[in-house]
Amino acid sequence: MKKRVFWLVILLLLGYIVLKKIPDDASNSGGHMGTSIEKSEVEHQSIQITKDQIYQGDLILVNKENPVQEAGIKNDVIRLSKNEELVQGYSLLDHRIEVSESVAKVFLEMVEAAQRDNVSHFILNSAFRGREEQEKLYEEMGPEYANPSGYSEHNVGSALDIGSTQMKMEHAPEGKWLEDNSWKYGFILRYPKDKIDITGTAYEPWHFRYVGLPHSAIMKQNNFSLEEYLDYLKDKGSISATNDGKIYEINYYPADQEMTIKVPITSNYEISGDNMGGVIVTSYVNKEKKERNL
């Protein structure tokens, strides 16, 4: 009888331990599952990539091997002299100068920032050139100083030849300020002195190209030319960057045919081709917004 009571007590104790452990384990498991579910609940949207997008956007490479395609020419090119609100704080060499309106607006912001640093003698010498104008320049200047029609960044609408009214740009405060600060506004010095072998173009301290953020910031930080940056993206496939309170995801895709890719619904995105067979999708969210959603 005593043995039966003994074993009954043992069985009751074991049952209590098992019953207590099940809820504890279930609670722990449920906690991990909840975290997993929250991560997988990020919704995505599908976007269509077309082959034409290879040839347009702020990151297209235009040089002697990669001519501008019709799709690559900016569709918002305007004559600056007819838009006086965009010509403030700098002068124009020629009243016929044209440029992408969106690029002109960012250039104006940059000039205003330079003025706050007491740098104010800017002149815009050249910007967008049509094919006929580029061909004429090529015939007059020759291959050492100009590219053939269709092979110049000036045929796109996002390249600017910026000068100083005081002196040559390589010695001017304007040139120094732009070299140090233009990346903050999405511009790059397109043909630096130390990249001649890579760009295939002589040093041009006046030639600035709009590529947009965060690309200009990444290029500045790593001392990349546009050629090097595009090679870097192609090699990495995907990179992340944080700039000015935004978290960026940059993805490179070969685009020899139409495709569908997915980006988070919560993010904004921009698409640019590289003019060589690929596209770059840059998606971003505000850092504070992302932290609230974590």
Distances (CA, A) of 167 to 170, 174, 176, 204: 8, 9, 12, 15
Identify whether residues 247 and 203 lie together within a single domain: no
**C-alpha closest to that of 174 among 78, 107, 81:** 107
Q: What is the pairing mode between strands 98-100 and 90-92? A: unpaired
If you average pLDDT over every residue of the chain, what do you get? Answer: 84
- 90 and 200 housed in the same domain: yes
Q: Which of 101, 170, 204, 228 is catalytic?
A: 204
pLDDT interval class at 258 (50, 70, 90): confident
* Report for 27-36, 42-51, 95-104, 279-288: range of highest mean pLDDT: 95-104
Q: Is residue 32 domain-resident?
A: no
The verdict on whether 204 is a catalytic residue reads yes
Residue 121 is part of which domain span?
A: 68-210
Same domain as 110, residue 193 = yes
Same-domain check for residues 161 and 246: no
By CB atoms closer than 10 A (0-12, 13-18, 19+), residue 190 is: buried
N- to C-terminal Cα separation, the chain: 61
Residue located via tokens 């800017």: 122
Give the domain-ending residue among 210, 229, 248: 210
Q: What contacts 78, CB < 8 A, 6 or more positions away?
A: 98, 99, 100, 101, 104
Residue at which a domain ends, from 191, 210, 229: 210
196 and 74 together in one domain? yes
- Has residue 176 been placed in a domain? yes
3-state DSSP assignment of residue 185: helix
Residue 21 belongs to a domain = no
147 and 91, same domain (yes or no): yes
Domain with 83 in it: what CATH number? 3.30.1380.10
Task: Label residue 44 by pLDDT band (50, 70, 90).
Answer: confident
Assess whether 164 and 188 both reside in one domain: yes
Contact status, residue 127 vs residue 160, Cβ threshold 8 Å: yes
pLDDT of 85 > 90? The answer is: yes
Closest CA to 44 of 262, 208, 203: 262
Contacts of 246 (CB under 8 A, 6+ apart): 214, 284, 285, 286, 287
Q: Is 178 domain-assigned?
A: yes
Q: Is 213 helix (H, G, I), strand (E, B) or coil?
A: coil
Helix (H, G, I), strand (E, B) or coil at 54: helix
Residue 84 lies in a domain: yes
Task: Copy the structure tokens of residue 93.
Answer: 């060499």
CA distance 166 to 113: 19
Question: Under a CB-based contact definition with an 8 Å cutoff, are residues 278 and 253 in contact?
Answer: yes
Judge whether 107 lies within some domain.
Answer: yes
Residues 201 and 134 in one domain: yes
Strands of the sheet containing 268-273, edge to edge, are 238-243, 246-254, 278-286, 268-273
Across 139-153, 156-170, 238-252, the highest mean pLDDT is recorded for: 156-170
Q: Write the pLDDT tens digit of every residue in 121-162.
A: 999 999 999 888 888 877 777 776 678 878 899 999 999 999
Overall average pLDDT of the 106-112 stretch: 98
Q: Structurally, how many domains does the chain consist of?
A: 2
Same domain, 218 and 180: no
Instruction: Report residue 23's pLDDT band, with 50, 70 and 90 as the boundaries.
Output: very low
Instruction: Reduce the DSSP state of residue 294 to 3 states and report it.
Output: coil
In three-state secondary structure terms, 77 is: strand
Question: Does residue 131 sit in the same domain as residue 199?
Answer: yes
Task: Estimate to the nearest angstrom the gap between the alpha carbon of 259 and the chain centroid.
Answer: 21
pLDDT category at 104 given cuts 50, 70, 90 is very high
Q: Is 51 exposed, middle or buried (0-12, 13-18, 19+ CB in 10 A)?
A: middle
Residues 275 and 246 in one domain: yes
Is 264 inside any structural domain? Answer: yes
What's the half-sphere exposure (Cβ side, CA atoms, 13 Å) at 173? 11
DSSP letter, residue 104: H
Is there a single domain that holds both residue 74 and residue 194? Answer: yes
Question: Domain containing 248 — which CATH number?
Answer: 3.30.200.180
The H-or-E segment that residue 40 falls in is helix 2-40
Given 210, 235, 260, the domain boundary residue is 210
Range in 11-15, 182-186, 194-198 with the lowest mean pLDDT:
11-15
- Give dist(CA 23, CA 111) in Å, integer: 66
